Amino acid sequence: MATTIPAFPQELIDMVVDAIGHDDQNLNPSQVQDRTRLLTSFALASRSLRERAHNHLFRSVNIINDPEESRARSFCALLGENPRLVSRITSFTVLFVKVGSDSGPLSFIFRTIFRDGINQAPCSLSIKFYTVGRFNRTFGILEVERALFKLCHKPRLISLTIQNHPYFPTNFLKHTCIKHLSLYGTHIGAPLPEEIFSSTKDRGDVVYLESLVYRRSTAPILQLLDHTANRSTPPTVVFSRLKRLDFSVIYGAEEIMEGKGDITIMAKKSLEELVVDLSRENRDVKPIPLHELPVLRKLSLRVCSSKNIFSSVAMSLAMQQCRPALRDITLRFPLLVDSDQGSNCNELLHAKLQKLHCDLTDVLLSSPDFDELGSLTFHMAIRSKLYNRDEETDYVSIIREHFPSIAAKGGLDFVVTVHSLGTTEWTRWRGANPY
């Protein structure tokens, strides 16, 4: 039998597959589908392409656990036909539509993925709940919950996201290797019995995070991270490795810490990136202690109101001298342009900006206190029936005109972007929840 000689070197083919399968977070759903179809075609074309394509196709898996669908069961069948696929999974997301419904397949998946073996890459897990009305207050009654606990305590799992869980056990993270934690709409429940940790007791009692996202949650973070007797570890030690913090000041930095101080100050020796939601009410905005964050490199502010945008920004940064390390500030905010008062979005945008105290931010960020700043970016989401994509360049010019001192400041890269704000995104902004 004649041997088929590939037209191109295998290394070149691998590079093409890797370029197509590159995990680009900026792809829209249609582009993701196109990429998946291409990779699937590669996998079916030949054995030499299959292995490489499968690495990308199964790197990240999303499952909906819905009694009306059978995705988890179908995926179990696929893993049964090709067990090697399990080793390729490094990211797994599950959406519980109904807790406890047909969870046998999901329990099997939890017990199977992220095992130590050929693939030693770090892994991430996202657990999302569609509803908060079907929960057991005592975690661990269901087999799927016990399987989830074991999965979260596997050494390869370093990133965990929990969304909309009303009874998250206070000691669930004990003895985990989690370095990146994201909590959305999460509230604490009763602790797990200590005997459940018998197989993991050789690990430390403090969870040292490198990044924390804390949104719409009320779980006191120290209770989740410090499991020493009487939680005796100083907060400055608990957060000594925290490099990135994303949280909302609507609940207050002090409340997150159970009154033990400002979490940003507790992490000041390591904190390099800070993302903050500003309250919709100016009276709730407190200055960010920039002068006490010596290694902070990047600051992002999300304004949760279209009424007090620039006065909120000015208040949050008021009377604060930047440390030299801070090089990048990003502002994200919505803007409701009332289309009932005119027929030209350019004119309405100009009139809206005149009412928003742009001069407060313009004077502040062009002052000598921010001379070390290298980049300033405004991401403006405009909600208007008159929004025209062909006029976006004009919108950017209008916005820049309202910040003349910033635009004229030497050595500062001032970037403005705009996009149309849809109904769903507008609802998220108004709820202080622009995921």
pLDDT digits (tens, 9 = 90+) for 28-62: 667 777 777 887 777 777 777 777 878 878 888 88
Distance between CA atoms of residues 418 and 421, nearest Å: 9
Distance between CA atoms of residues 330 and 336, nearest Å: 20
- Which segment, 19-28, 88-97, 313-322, is predicted with the most confidence on average? 88-97
pLDDT digits (tens, 9 = 90+) for 94-149: 888 765 555 678 888 898 898 877 678 899 999 998 764 445 555 555 777 888 89
Sort strands 188-189 and 60-65 into parallel, antiparallel or unpaired: unpaired
Please determine, for residue 250, whether its predicted confidence score (pLDDT) is greater than 50: no
Amino acid at site 227:
H
pLDDT given for residue 29 in this prediction: 67
Q: Which two tokens stand for residue 129?
A: 């709940």
pLDDT digits (tens, 9 = 90+) for 378-404: 999 888 888 888 999 999 999 999 999
Report yes or no: 46 and 53 within 8 Å, Cβ to Cβ: no
Report yes or no: 129 and 97 within 8 Å, Cβ to Cβ: no
- Higher-confidence residue of 97 and 368: namely 368
Q: List Cβ neighbours of 86 (8 Å cut-off, separation of 6 or more).
A: 79, 112, 113, 115
Distance between CA atoms of residues 192 and 169, nearest Å: 6
- pTM score, whole prediction: 0.86
pLDDT given for residue 133 in this prediction: 47
Whole-number percent of the chain with pLDDT over 90: 28
Distance between CA atoms of residues 187 and 169, nearest Å: 9
pLDDT given for residue 33 in this prediction: 76
Please determine, for residue 200, whether its predicted confidence score (pLDDT) is greater than 50: yes
Please determine, for residue 426, whether its predicted confidence score (pLDDT) is greater than 70: no
Q: Which residues pair with 64 in a beta bridge?
A: 95
Distance between CA atoms of residues 5 and 185, nearest Å: 56
- Higher-confidence residue of 354 and 340: namely 354
pLDDT digits (tens, 9 = 90+) for 263-322: 888 899 999 999 988 765 544 556 788 888 899 999 998 887 666 677 777 777 765 566
CA nearest to 207, candidates 230, 227, 193: 227
Please determine, for residue 229, whether its predicted confidence score (pLDDT) is greater than 80: yes
Please determine, for residue 217, whether its predicted confidence score (pLDDT) is greater than 90: no
Whole-number percent of the chain with pLDDT over 70: 80
Q: Which two tokens stand for residue 246?
A: 């994303």
Please determine, for residue 375, whether its predicted confidence score (pLDDT) is greater than 50: yes
pLDDT given for residue 224 in this prediction: 93
Q: Largest Cα–Cα distance in the chain? A: 81
- Higher-confidence residue of 347 and 225: namely 225
Please compute the mean of the pLDDT values over residues 154-160 and round it to a whole number: 94
Q: Which residues pair with 328 in a beta bridge?
A: 298, 375
pLDDT given for residue 263 in this prediction: 85
